[in-house]
Amino acid sequence: MKQLALPPIGVFGGTFNPPHYGHFCPVQDAARQVGIKRIMVVPCQIPPHKAKPETSAATRLTMVRLAAEHFNGFEVSDIELKRAGKSYTVDTLEQLRNDMPDTPICFFMGLDSLLHFDSWHRWQDIPKLSHIVVCARPGWQPDYNTNIQRLLEQRLTEAPAQLHRDKCGCLFFASVAPYHVSSTEIRQRLEKQQNLHGMMPDNVHAYINEHRLYRP
Ligand code: ATP
């Protein structure tokens, strides 16, 4: 008798310096669309594509935990904090794949990340480990280079059911409400002591104030 497929799990990586609604809300929308009930949020130790954040990984992890309290189905993993060196997504997905050999894995990213996905460490191995679910991001256009175009030709699906049937290998565009916010903008606003109304959960904002993070 054919075994029932395991439900897919979502994985959402980032620097989260600091976390904001533009991280959680689009992924929450996308997860609903795909039918994913469990999403693992994975803050990085050292981002491969950005300057080393001035805020420690432990602090960013704490803020992500606070933010996740506001959303159903999100759990926070410290898997990348336990590894030395740059936090490559492919290493994280390999670790998760070892732990969950039969579970479909959906890696979430914003459109800005897809545009330079072919610069990620061992990017061609990522679709062998997980699906990719892309969320639109205000300010970014679907203007793809040839590598990404080829990836789409080979992997694009419009059927969420395929992300349940297969364990990896598909790319799906979720249709999500736009969130006009970035960590950069939040850091800049904090430096200028401007308000952050509606950009992040209150408990994250309170934590930032309490610890005087991102102050000049
Ligand atoms: P920074 O401004 O410091 O570069 P960021 O706001 O882009 O940071 P990251 O932690 O680098 O946040 O992003 C983690 C993931 O979240 C990436 O896949 C990114 O594309 C996605 N993301 C961040 N903000 C948004 C947003 N407003 N809408 C959709 N996706 C987003």
Q: Are 104 and 9 in contact (CB under 8 A)?
A: yes
What's the half-sphere exposure (Cβ side, CA atoms, 13 Å) at 142? 6
pLDDT of residue 2: 58
Q: Which of 11, 12, 23, 135 to mutate to test the pocket of ligand 1 (most atoms within 8 A of CB)?
A: 23
Q: Which two tokens stand for residue 139?
A: 């300010």
Distance 98 CA to ligand 1 centre (A): 27
Distance 143 CA to ligand 1 centre (A): 18
Q: Which of 50, 182, 188, 189 to mutate to test the pocket of ligand 1 (most atoms within 8 A of CB)?
A: 182
Asked, for residue 97, whether it belongs to a domain, the answer is: yes
Give the domain range for residue 42: 9-210
Find tokens 């395929």 and name the residue. Answer: 162
Asked, for residue 3, whether it belongs to a domain, the answer is: no
pLDDT of residue 216: 80
Asked, for residue 168, whether it belongs to a domain, the answer is: yes
Q: Which residues contact 212 (CB under 8 A, 6 or more apart)?
A: none
Task: Walk along the chain (216 residues) and give the pLDDT tens digit of each residue.
Answer: 556 689 999 999 999 999 999 999 999 999 999 999 999 999 999 999 899 899 999 999 999 999 999 999 999 999 999 999 999 999 999 999 999 999 999 999 999 999 999 999 999 999 999 999 999 999 999 999 999 999 999 999 999 999 999 999 999 999 999 999 999 999 999 999 999 999 999 999 999 999 999 988
Least Cα distance to 106 among 5, 38, 45, 26 occurs for 38
**Number of the ligand 1 atom closest to the C-alpha atom of 108:** 18
Q: Which of 64, 112, 115, 123 to mutate to test the pocket of ligand 1 (most atoms within 8 A of CB)?
A: 112
C-alpha 160/C-alpha 1 separation (Å) is 24
pLDDT of residue 41: 98
Q: Whose Cα sits closest to atom 15 in ligand 1?
A: 14
Question: Can you give the pTM of this predicted structure?
Answer: 0.97
Asked, for residue 1, whether it belongs to a domain, the answer is: no
Instruction: Using CA atoms of 167, 127, 89, 177 in order, give the dihedral in degrees to the nearest 10.
Output: -80
Write a three-state SS string for 63-121: HHHHHHCCCCCEEECCCCCCCCCCCCHHHHHHHHHHHCCCCCEEEEEEHHHHHCHHHCC
C-alpha 109/C-alpha 117 separation (Å) is 10
C-alpha 67/C-alpha 193 separation (Å) is 21
pLDDT of residue 102: 96
Asked, for residue 173, whether it belongs to a domain, the answer is: yes
**CATH at 88:** 3.40.50.620
Q: Are 190 and 181 in contact (CB under 8 A)?
A: no
pLDDT of residue 94: 98
Asked, for residue 31, whether it belongs to a domain, the answer is: yes
User: Domain tally for the chain?
Assistant: 1
Q: Whose Cα sits closest to atom 21 in ligand 1?
A: 110
Asked, for residue 2, whether it belongs to a domain, the answer is: no
Distance 160 CA to ligand 1 centre (A): 23
Q: Are 111 and 137 in contact (CB under 8 A)?
A: yes
Say which amino acid occupies 140.
W
Q: How far is CA 108 from CA 24, 136, 141, in A?
A: 11, 11, 18
Q: Is 172 helix (H, G, I), strand (E, B) or coil?
A: strand
Distance 182 CA to ligand 1 centre (A): 6
Asked, for residue 176, whether it belongs to a domain, the answer is: yes
